[in-house]
A and B are shown apart, each in its own frame.
Chain A
Amino acid sequence: DTAVSQTPKYLVTQMGNDKSIKCEQNLGHDTMYWYKQDSKKFLKIMFSYNNKELIINETVPNRFSPKSPDKAHLNLHINSLELGDSAVYFCASSFQFPGVGWERNTEAFFGQGTRLTVV
């Protein structure tokens, strides 16, 4: 069973187009993320959602809009694609436990990635 699945695996599109990447997790996690990995392999968090609510929104152009219809899904919609958006986008999920003193397993599980190429 795939824990975190994202589609499509590859996406080639022209500049100016709008595209979406879908992500689903079947781990029962309450927190989901989008990361961008550039050509130098640097992983940078873009968004974090906990129970369908945005909790982190790093400095990301507002052309990127995450949508979480339920806590098992976090989709990424990108408007007016630019050449610089070409990268691999990873979805991830984890548990977020409450407060200090609680033992937690904060392992983040990642999807296989979506390689976006803007031409």
Chain B
Amino acid sequence: QQQVKQSPQSLIVQKGGISIINCAYENTAFDYFPWYQQFPGKGPALLIAIRPDVSEKKEGRFTISFNKSAKQFSLHIMDSQPGDSATYFCAAQTGANNLFFGTGTRLTVIP
């Protein structure tokens, strides 16, 4: 059973454009929602994270939007750059520290 649903599976964006990745969850016990970025041959690394008591968090060009009532959250990458090309994973975590990942989105930013 997939705890966190993620879409799209792949995304191609022109340089300077906005990349948007969406995630949805069912378990209301989740209380922490990180996004991880993974480059080929590397392990995932934390990009940005949000807690359900806020609706938006912004760090540089990366923004998480969180809709608690809809149980959805999304990552927006503004002014996308070729260096942003990677696989992005949303995740959700319970107090027991069990981190459930979405299925991943392969982002390609075309110069």
Q: Across the two chains, which residue of chain B brings its CB closest to A4?
A: B43
CB pair B97 A90 closer than 8 Å: no
CB pair B44 A90 closer than 8 Å: yes
Main DSSP-derived SS at the A contact region: strand
Binding site for B on A (CB under 8 A): 4, 31, 33, 40-45, 48, 50, 55-56, 90, 92, 94, 96, 100, 106-113
CB pair A56 B43 closer than 8 Å: no
CB pair B99 A45 closer than 8 Å: yes
Give the interface size class of chain B. 20 to 34
CB pair B97 A94 closer than 8 Å: yes
Interface string of B82-107 (1 = CB under 8 A from A): 00000101000101111111011010
Report the separation of the CA atoms of residues A106 and B27 in the bound assembly, to the nearest whole angstrom. Answer: 18
Binding site for A on B (CB under 8 A): 32, 34, 38, 41-46, 49, 87, 89, 93, 95-101, 103-104, 106
CB pair A96 B97 closer than 8 Å: yes
CB pair B43 A31 closer than 8 Å: no
CB pair A41 B100 closer than 8 Å: no
CB pair A45 B100 closer than 8 Å: yes
Report the separation of the CA atoms of residues A12 and B91 in the bound assembly, to the nearest whole angstrom. Answer: 30
For the complex of A and B, the 3 pairs showing the least CB-CB separation, nearest first, are: A110-B43, A43-B101, A41-B104
CB pair B104 A106 closer than 8 Å: no
Given contacts A48-B98, A96-B97, A107-B34, contact A90 B43 (CB under 8 A): yes
